[in-house]
Amino acid sequence: MIKNQKTKKLIADLQYADLFDPNNPYRRYFRLWLDGSYLGEEHYRRNIEQAKRLWNKPRRNVRAFVLSEWNKYNATDLSDYSHHQIARAFKEVLGDRLEEFNDALIEDFRDEFREFVEEQQVA
């Protein structure tokens, strides 16, 4: 049972969001995080380099990077909540579909940087 009122509020907000919809604000803003809209061009360029480095690596490597960026994004966009509260809320709302959601975030990452990786592979 979740006792923390802030966590309960975040869970209530998340329950009404279709987190699997790519146009959901959490997912859209995460893509803005990846493209440097939050932290600038240097962050964007670093993410391009990470995409090139990780593209053909095992899923666990890509997953680790994407979830690290997801956590950084959440720490910024949901700054009223602790890392623990955010993780608990998403786990509560997603339940058995948590890994499916992680896969959706990985696909958002791949969609964002596909053109740079494919451009490198052709060259």
Domain extents for the chain? 5-122
Using pLDDT thresholds of 50, 70 and 90, give the confidence band for residue 98.
very high
Question: To 5 degrees, how large is the angle CA 36–CA 78–CA 69?
Answer: 40
| Contact partners, residue 97, CB within 8 Å, separation at least 6 | 20
Q: Which two tokens stand for residue 31?
A: 């893509």
pLDDT at position 118:
83
**Model pLDDT, residue 122:** 56
| CA 105 – CA 100 distance, rounded (Å) | 9
Read off the pTM.
0.91
5: pLDDT strictly greater than 60 = yes
Tell me, what's the pLDDT at 47? 97
- Per the listing, tokens 């990786």 go with 117
- pLDDT at 1 > cutoff 80: no
Give CA–CA dist 11/88, Å, rounded: 9
Average pLDDT over residues 57-85: 95
User: What length is written for the chain?
Assistant: 123
Q: What is the mean pLDDT of the chain?
A: 93
Decide if 47 contacts 111 (C-beta within 8 A). Answer: no
